[in-house]
Amino acid sequence: MAYRLRAGDTGPVQQSPVTCGSACLTVARMLVDPHFASWIRTGSPVLPGSPAGATEAERFAAYERVVMRRTNGILGGGRPSVPWPRRLGTPPWGALRELELGAARRGTEYTIEVLRTDDETELVRAFDTLVDVVAEGEPALLYVGSRLLPRHVVLVLPGDGDRMLDVYDPTTGRVDHLRRDTVVHRRLGLSGWDIPWVVVRPTGLRTVRSLAYAADLGPAPA
């Protein structure tokens, strides 16, 4: 059975103070890979290379660590990358690579868009673009923070209504509506952070990849 999250639902909670991005990427993979979601939630089926964990929280925490090794390491998904200190969380380029190589449908292309310096008109455009490209079920990551620094990562999901988005906050596991006015006026209120900084989102394009994802838990979902 497919795993779904919508406004009003509660999903897994990040298992360390620095794994908000890893938690979002783990949930993103759960949403597109039913076997992976079942392993996280029930422990079955036991997938090749799966880390140890007797409970759902332990399995989720173990996979967060797997994700962080990929997103922050010199080689992530078999590609050279700029290493990033784990104490600073998940870098956007590492998140993009993780999404393209396993945490979204195979072939989905992602891009990094900086929002911090945008005026209100550009934030309206950015939000409307996000609605369009997430509509097919492909998630996006939104980096939020203070006026000075990005401090937290949340997962943007398609909402049930027209021009609507949902947002999963890994601090609490809650899924709520993400309204355009809260983005445009910088009043997000996500774990205490209001300012949109960066979004890692689908481009709206998909390519056919011949190389399967070299992940710890099997190939990428089709």
**Per-residue model confidence (pLDDT) at position 112:** 96
**108 is written with which tokens?**
């989905």
**Per-residue model confidence (pLDDT) at position 25:** 97
pLDDT band for position 87 (cuts 50, 70, 90): low
Asked whether the whole model's pTM tops 0.85, one would answer: yes
**Per-residue model confidence (pLDDT) at position 86:** 63
Nearest to 16 by CA among 83, 82, 67, 74: 67
What's the CATH fold of domain 20-206?
Cathepsin B; Chain A (3.90.70)
**Residue 162 CA from chain centroid, whole number:** 22
Q: Give me the helices (H) in the chain, please.
A: 20-32, 34-42, 56-72, 92-98, 120-134, 180-184
What residue segments make up the domains of the chain, in order of their start? Answer: 20-206
pLDDT digits (tens, 9 = 90+) for 14-24: 999 999 999 99
**Per-residue model confidence (pLDDT) at position 222:** 38
